[in-house]
Chains A and B, each alone.
Chain A
Amino acid sequence: MSLRKRSERRGAVAIVTTLMLALSLAMPTSALALTTNKATARPNEDGGSSVIGGLDTRLTWEGTVEEGEEVTEVTLMLPDDGTFDGATTKITVLDGLKRAKLEGEAVANGSQLTVTFKEPATAGYLLRLEVEGMRFPSEGGDIVVSGSYVNQAGEQTLADSKPIKTIANTPLQALVAQLDEAPWVQAWNSNPFLGMFFKPQLLATAFATLVPGWLLCLLIVVIAYPFAIVLGLVFALMKISKHRLLRFISTLYINVLRGTPLFLQIYIMFFGLPMMNINIDNNVLGVIVIAINASAYLAEIFRAGIQSIPQGQYEAASSLGMNYFQTMFSIILPQTIRRVIPTVTSDFITSYKDTSLLSSVGVMELMMFAKNLTSVSGNMTPYVAAAIFYLVVTLPLIKVVSIVEERIANSERGGGPRPKGKNAAKAAEASNGAKLSGLAVHAQALDDEHAYDSAMGQMTPSYASEV
């Protein structure tokens, strides 16, 4: 009896376990009939990479139909105030990499989107739904796309997608939306020229998004320049040295670097070094290229500056018993520095602008950001914004150059402010200064040693009056 009972009980336990096992096996298969592969959203932040709620974007949902299943309908659901209204849905059904000829129709209803297939999607098919123009809830947060589907057994619950990170609207985006609405902006943009080059919405976005690129440009040139000055000085001294070999090396260095485009030098460094298994961080490499390139130009500037110091200074120094180095470092170079400051500043401006070439090799600088924004928007305004970022630095520097030149011209003339005819003198000086700065920049652009030397040598009152 007791044995029997025990065996009965055992039998019951066995049945229950089998049942449970069967159930647990059945559950996942039914839940997995349509596997949710992923749900992603296209970043809709202007010039950024975030997904902003409450603004149009595109949701891409992918699911695979499992073995032995036939799916006829899929419904996607968003949390409360997300909406599919007004969205267009592209339905793609794939068998491996091939498109399957299976058509469907999508009906949006608030936070629900129902896709009905004309024929059932069978095992192995990948269902891809791209919903363009839908909106996530405006408060942002991690959004899970849930839903249901219909197979031969009826309606089933769809596995939740991995959460999509969304954010609430940014102040910038709000400003852009405000500008979109403003009547003056619409009137402004209706002019093809203004709309293409000075679109207010894009100016606002560009100013905000270009800042990191601008800072990187400044960082690169500010770090590169001290190295360039030291290198340039070394090569300048080598070029005027008595040793033929040193002169040769320096001439070769300067001529090769000045005689080839910076763009080419960038390519050689960025593509060549990694091939030799020398891997340097892109930004550091950018600094190196800019420094080396600028050093060649600076070497010529320094050489011309040193040679513009009259021979009498050397003779005076040697009459005081100074040796070469003493003469150089305490007599000649201090005078040189004063004379080359304007041209070095101009060269600094050039180098700063040259950082833009680094965008072609993937350095995330100003041009790169502007290019991205332009390619996304199909509008030239980001480039105009980039131009303003360059000008913010270069215009004050150009002003500095002209002031310094004026002062130098003034002091070499031996003149300070005159007691009489103050205004007339001032006006004359100002105009001279302006002409001189124009000349220096011109000489720089010409890049002609001769024109350059004359500009250097003539930074004196006599020349100023000739002009």
Chain B
Amino acid sequence: MSKSTITRRSFIGAASTSMLGLVLTACGGSSGSTGATATDAAASADYTLITPGKLTCVSDMAFPPMDYMEGDTYTGYEVELMEAIATKMGLEIAWLPPTKFDTIIPLIKQGGKADVGASSFTITDERKEEIDFSDSYLDSNQGVATLKSAGVKSEEDLNVEGKKIGVQSGTTGEMWAKENLTNATIVPLDDPVQAMSGMSTGLYDAVAADLPVMSYLCAQSYTDCEVSIEIPTGEQYGLVVSKDNPGLTAALNEAYAAVVADGTEAELQKKWFGAEL
């Protein structure tokens, strides 16, 4: 008899635990709904989305030609690729307002705001500790842009005390500069466009960032600059997904494979890079 009696203390404990459970489920429920309806393979359809029926993506939108803003519309290779992937998954795409690059991974990790980080993230082992990556969807390298008039030819020209290198905070470009240009001062900035305009006005001696972006910016916007050093790093971009959502990673991989298979990817590459890569 005494065994089945619930003392007051244990009752309070049990009640608060169940309340906590309720609150937690409520939180989870509001931010997630299970299942993708239109995927061909039902087996991999086990993932949660922030908004049901919508693939919520986040990017810094400051990385032309990958992802950037034209007026107030989002455009770029990555933006169109994500649209194609979402269509394959039977989802609508929704972009969060542009978010600073170095805050995207913490944001995905924390959860509750976006499903996918699509902002030209290089797959690195270090980042893999925080989040999951999808299969890679593009190869990239590093590039260093300088003013044409500066006559920079090699890393040694820049690895000098007092030289200032503008980089985007939290990028592999920043890591490369910190590791290879140890004598120079590395100035982390919000985006590569800010770094380039700073360089063209003389604030920085060089800008280090992903090669496709450097080439694009030098060709399109900053014609007095050039990519003076190409650094083969063979890095690969991947989509960033929370570790709590492995089903979504699998579904993204599947949808991406379908986008490659039906030639959409090749088409987009021709459109944005002038050639299939």
Contact = CB atoms under 8 A, between A and B. Distances in A.
Given A43-B178, A92-B234, A130-B125, 7 more contacts: A42-B178, A58-B126, A93-B234, A128-B234, A132-B126, A378-B105, A378-B130
Contact of A279 (B109, B179, B202): B202
B139 interface: yes
Interface in B53-98: none
Contacts of A97: 141, 211, 230, 232
A372 to B, nearest CB: 6
Interface stretch (A15-23, A149-157, A267-275, A308-316): A267-275
Contacts of A274: 201-203
B204 A371 contact: no
A99 B139 contact: yes
A98 interface: yes
Contact of A371 (B166, B188, B235): B188
Given A43-B179, A375-B102, A362 B232 contact: no
A271 B126 contact: no
Closest 9 CB pairs of A and B: A375-B102, A92-B234, A132-B125, A274-B202, A274-B201, A378-B106, A375-B169, A94-B232, A99-B234
A372 B188 contact: yes
Contacts of A43: 178-179
Nearest to A87: B125
Contacts of B230: 97
15 contacts: A40-B180, A43-B178, A90-B125, A92-B235, A93-B234, A97-B232, A99-B139, A270-B203, A271-B197, A275-B201, A362-B189, A362-B203, A362-B204, A375-B170, A378-B105
A43 B175 CA distance: 9
Interface in A84-141: 88, 90, 92-94, 96-99, 126, 128, 130, 132-133
A7 to B, nearest CB: 52
Nearest to B186: A49
A163 to B, nearest CB: 12
B258 interface: no
Interface size class of B (residues with CB under 8 A): 35 or more
Contacts of B139: 98-99
Contacts of A364: 185, 187
B91 to A, nearest CB: 28
Among A97, A126, A270, the one with the most B-chain Cβ atoms within 10 Å of its Cβ is: A97
A392 B245 CA distance: 44
A175 interface: no
Among B103, B105, B188, the one with the most A-chain Cβ atoms within 10 Å of its Cβ is: B188
A126 B230 CA distance: 14
B198 interface: yes
Nearest to B178: A43
Interface string A369-401: 001101110100000000000000000000000
Contacts of A376: 170
A371 B197 contact: no
A267 to B, nearest CB: 10
Interface in A31-75: 38, 40-43, 49, 58, 60
A318 interface: no
Interface in A271-307: 271, 274-275, 279, 282
A362 B166 contact: yes
Contacts of A93: 234
B233 A128 contact: yes
A90 B103 CA distance: 25
A371 B190 CA distance: 10
Interface in B152-211: 164, 166, 169-170, 175, 178-180, 182, 185, 187-190, 197-198, 201-204, 211
